[in-house]
Amino acid sequence: MKSVMACQGISKSYGAGDILERVLKRVDLELFEGQASVLVGPSGSGKTTLLSILGCLLAPSEGQLLIADQTVNFSDKSSLTEVRRKKLGFIFQHAQLLPFLTIEENLAIVGRNAGMEDMDIKQRLDGLLQRLELKVMRYKYPAQLSGGQRQRVAIARALLHRPSIVLADEPTAALDWNTGKTVVELLLEQARLEKAVLVVVTHDTRMLPLFDRILTIADGLLSEQRQTAAVENTFYTQP
């Protein structure tokens, strides 16, 4: 399988001297095309920090991040923005759609920002709205949608510009179990269809069997578990 993203000895510390806090400790990780990984761990274990580094939003204190075999230059904000613009898709806990734009506009601006042609955006938008059963919501505003529908729009937004990596931060936290499961299943289905790397942070252990890889983080140390071992583990916060 083709390697899309790799962490090499990534550490992250906050503070200095006596109050130095090491949130991530030498994380090594390789993520492959079309592979869906779930990142689990107790609160404060470093999940969001790792996701922020993978999303080129936070610079590591040590180590390096490679995307498509290119080392990410965290000191150049403009190049970080370019990586996010072209190669990354994000899904946030509360969808974070722009409330003053319709669903169509929320999606279209991402395509335009990524430099897609208008015709390409339209075709892509039509396809995603169809696949995610959002066609009738096209001209509605986020406030007119349910939480599940908003997360489906967020999935469409994350995939619209064909990113090679999709990162999701607790996309089901604000949803009930059935809606959350549907959203994750849709996300997995679409990411696989697009052959994108998918990394999802979640607290909900019931979601784990849906993913290809289960990554566990505790006290800043990353490890990988087999499906059965992960499901039986008890330190996760139950939803």
Partner 1 sequence: MNSVAIPVATQMLFHNRPRFIMTVVGIAIAFFLAAAQIGLLVGWINTNSAIIKHAGVDIWVMAQETRTLDYGTAIPRHRIQQVSSVQGVAWAEGMLVGWVNWQHPEGKHITVEVIGLDKANAGGPWLMPEGNISSIHLPQTVVVDELSKQTLGVRQIGDEAEMEGRRVIIGGFSRGVRTFTASPFVFTSIDNALDYVAYYQDDEISYVLVRIDPGADVMQVRDRIAREVSHVEVLTTAEFAERSVKYWMLETGVGITVIITAALGLLVGAVIMSQTLFAITQDHIANYATLLALGFHQKTLRQIVLTQSLSLGGLGIVVGSVLFFIACNASATTPIPLETTPMVSTSLILFSLLCCIASSWFSIRAIFKLDPVMVFHG
Residues that bind partner 1 (CB under 8 A): 48, 51-52, 55, 57-58, 77-78, 81-86, 88, 90, 92-94, 96, 98-101, 105, 109-110, 112-114, 157, 169
The sign of the torsion formed by the CA atoms of 86, 89, 92, 96 equals positive
The alpha carbon of 63 is separated from its chain's Cα centroid by a whole number of angstroms, namely: 21
Nearer to partner 1, 58 or 231 (CB): 58
Q: How far is the CB of 57 from partner 1 (least distance, A)?
A: 4
Q: How far is the CB of 78 from partner 1 (least distance, A)?
A: 7
CA–CA dist 26, 63 (Å, integer): 7
Q: How far is the CB of 204 from partner 1 (least distance, A)?
A: 17
Nearer to partner 1, 11 or 93 (CB): 93
Q: How far is the CB of 188 from partner 1 (least distance, A)?
A: 21
**Residue for token digits 């994350």?**
158
The sign of the torsion formed by the CA atoms of 99, 104, 107, 111 equals negative
Nearer to partner 1, 32 or 92 (CB): 92
Task: From 85, 81, 237, select the one nearest 161 (Cα to Cα).
Answer: 85
Nearer to partner 1, 88 or 186 (CB): 88
The alpha carbon of 70 is separated from its chain's Cα centroid by a whole number of angstroms, namely: 20
